[in-house]
Amino acid sequence: MSDAPEDGWFDYLPGWLRRLAVRAQDARPEDLSAFLPPDEGGRESAVLILFGDDGRGWDGAHVLLIERAHDMRSHAGQVAFPGGAVDPEDADDVAAALREAAEETGLDPAGVRVLATLPSLFLPPSGFVVTPVLAWWRDPSPVSVVDAAEVASVHRVPLAELLDPANRYRVSHPSGFLGPAFDVAGLLVWGFTAGLLDRLMRLAGWEQPWNAADVRELPAWALDPTLLRRTGDARP
């Protein structure tokens, strides 16, 4: 499913984002993930996939990511898109994604232009049914950690770093999960977020050849982020 963007939406987009914006209108769930929602059950949630640039076009293109607090009950310490559970007062998934992003990063939703509501996906470890909201950061606002109990850090991650083959590989989880990963901005991006970024880069035509045969075990601190506190947050 997809939202129809406002009239003239294509005109204000930078050239580097236009292909993704167009292809997102008809994206299928299987284009985005192998984990599709069950017929019944799952807690509804939404995330904001927010692309922007710093005025330099592609050279300054980035995506907004957060690092979750290291002692949260689920997905502790993982890098994620801003977002969370849909509340009863939220009008829809877009409202939920924007509200959560504002609560987590201080983002001003007035500067965000929604391009599409992507098909809902499933997050098996926590049982969330996640609806990604694709957006363009037309008028960027300052962002930072608002509530340290939920967010450890906030990052505008350059797309050039995400796409650099030297920063890409796959990780293996003790459960048997095998998926894409990125080493960027001093962060390890893996799991749901890395998988969705990987698929979106492919849809956008941005992907560069990288070594998918490079498979590494998840480091201990990725499985237990409390180890970071014990070592002064020093990541190998």
Ordered per-residue pLDDT tens for the chain, 236 residues: 334 455 566 788 999 999 999 999 999 999 999 988 887 778 899 999 999 998 889 999 999 999 999 876 666 789 999 999 999 999 999 999 999 999 999 999 999 999 999 999 998 878 899 999 999 999 999 999 999 999 999 999 999 999 999 999 999 999 888 999 999 989 999 999 999 999 999 999 999 999 999 999 999 888 877 765 544 454 55
Q: What is the pTM of this model?
A: 0.92
Q: Please tell me the distance from the alpha carbon of residue 138 to that of residue 12, in angstroms, as a whole number.
A: 8
Q: Please tell me the distance from the alpha carbon of residue 58 to that of residue 100, in angstroms, as a whole number.
A: 27
Closest alpha carbon to 84 in 150, 182, 137? 150
Q: Are 181 and 144 in contact (CB under 8 A)?
A: no
Q: Which residue has the tokens 């340290």?
A: 148
Which structural domains are found in the chain, ordered by start? Answer: 15-160 (3.90.79.10)
Closest alpha carbon to 69 in 59, 54, 79? 79
